[in-house]
Structure 1
């Protein structure tokens, strides 16, 4: 389906929980008040939503959270979504702590790819950032996904005064592994407002100091806005998602659904349309109408660069960023 700006919207991110087993300081350092389970969409409701979304042209679905693997039965949901006519791809974003435990089950249910959030390879820094001592589990999860030959991306957020000097070590994960490392600029949402971001162009310049001018990798790596580069001698590629310094709104192809069934068409704004009641009333026509309305009214662009125009006040974990 085309939105009001003429963009094709074919990608939907679905948060299946607001809960998480980590306490990343730019996301939910002290935890939050969890949404009661009766307010969270059931897996059957999520599948029913996906059916209506596919009728409108959604072809790719990302399962997110919170941390999706803390919700029992997440791999089964992947299989349910894969069975929806019209859905061509189902992927998962995770912090990786439980990935090794569930990777075979995810593969059996048809998972097409996984993104692992990892901001450091230093155990002490990992604890400082996440509040947990689980770095080894995350690294084991990455290796397990590679063994299962599931396409893998590692998402990195650099933070001033914490892990900004680890850019080379993190990039080097792609040197001998067939995976992509993607540097994501900190977005001013929730606790992220309190951090000074590191522009991706700085990381690119540093890489080019080491390797010379880098060639853009024009292969299709996924559904998002990352710009990829080939690094000499690397098995994988290095990507940059530059929401602040490389605004890509004209190419945005997505909508988001929170764990409570609220459709968000842009992270910057608080606007949302709920489909939960319509799903629970089995009113498929109304579900589809509300999905179409959210797509049609998708804003032309975010305004992250103007603080007073950012109306979204909730934390990223609760809006399925």
Structure 2
């Protein structure tokens, strides 16, 4: 790559914020586009970004190299749906090379699973060993309602292909009050019978949303108490590098995670940064603050100015997110998860 000469070869200067947290994990969004329209993520008639505003694959790779030079050890590719991005395997190939050199510990992916059967073998070949698949229900009709037109059979096929290729699969499910409370036991069985971990995620107040989140919000602290009456949940001191708190379900032997930004936040141990497909650096998904990297990136082949902007952004990282849902009001962020890069 022509930009490699500008990357420092010295020991990385860690990205430490003013609260003493070190960022070692980058979530890199490659697109805001998706082949689904999940109700909690984006509107049905979503207006997507002009392509000229989206970083090309080489620009995304260059940014990733700059972050690696500052001590980032794990990169998760996100979207939108990352697998709809044209030629996305080229980016995985470039990043995967850094697993072999030891500059990167892990390269992974979050996907809705609809295209996973097409790309599973290539992902494994490029060094990916784990993928997260978003799946909120096992019911075909409810899946179609949540995603607006998705076919759950595609996700099942993607999961099967991923496991056949040697990828470890974890299921992510967004918990919402109502049918989910009756389905969660089936999700636990489905995941654990197939040797997959399951992580439950509280709905976050991102984007406009057409439903009242005060009505749909389901506290995972309360759900965990309910589940503990039906399952034996054994707490684990497991450090996953993420915000989930895990238990082992004794009856299945599988892991069950809880991501609880609202009922029990995880900000004190946050080690992550997010870069959108347009090159905006977000130090917190629950804060409006951002630093644009795209124009500086495109202005010069010298990485030093971009590196300085990254340092500036990390210095702005808040102590905690601004999410709040009470009976009276919802405090959230206007941008959608697809823009942020969930």
CA root-mean-square deviation: 1.8
Instruction: Decide which of 295, 308, 326 is 1:289's aligned counterpart.
Output: 308
Asked whether 1:279 is paired with 2:297, we answer yes
Matches within 5 A, 1:118-267: 118-191=135-208, 194-195=212-213, 196-212=216-232, 214-220=233-239, 222-267=240-285
**In the alignment, is the contact (CA less than 8 A) between 1:226 and 1:240 conserved in 2?**
yes
Counterpart of 1:68? 82
Matches within 5 A, 1:11-22: 11-22=25-36
**Unpaired runs of 5+ in structure 2?**
1-14
C-alpha change, 1:273 and 1:92, in structure 2 (3 Å) is same
**In the alignment, is the contact (CA less than 8 A) between 1:268 and 1:310 conserved in 2?**
no
Shift in Å, 1:311: 6.6
The TM-score normalised by the length of structure 1 is 0.94
**In the alignment, is the contact (CA less than 8 A) between 2:163 and 2:169 conserved in 1?**
yes
Shift in Å, 1:306: 6.7
Task: Provide Cα deviations, 1:139-190, integer angstroms capped at 9, x if missing partner.
Answer: 1111221222212211101222343311111111233222110000001111
**Unpaired runs of 5+ in structure 1?**
none
| Segments ≥4 residues shifted beyond 4 Å | 306-311
**In the alignment, is the contact (CA less than 8 A) between 2:206 and 2:332 conserved in 1?**
no
* C-alpha distance in structure 2 between counterparts of 1:185 and 1:164, whole Å: 12
Task: Provide Cα deviations, 1:95-118, integer angstroms capped at 9, x if missing partner.
Answer: 100011110111111113111110
C-alpha change, 1:129 and 1:11, in structure 2 (3 Å) is same
Shift in Å, 1:227: 0.7
Shift in Å, 1:235: 4.4
**In the alignment, is the contact (CA less than 8 A) between 1:27 and 1:191 conserved in 2?**
no
* C-alpha distance in structure 1 between counterparts of 2:160 and 2:253, whole Å: 15
C-alpha change, 1:300 and 1:102, in structure 2 (3 Å) is same
> Number of matched residues?
319
**In the alignment, is the contact (CA less than 8 A) between 1:167 and 1:203 conserved in 2?**
no
Please state whether the residue corresponding to 2:175 is helix, strand or coil.
coil
Shift in Å, 1:206: 2.6
Please state whether the residue corresponding to 1:28 is helix, strand or coil.
coil
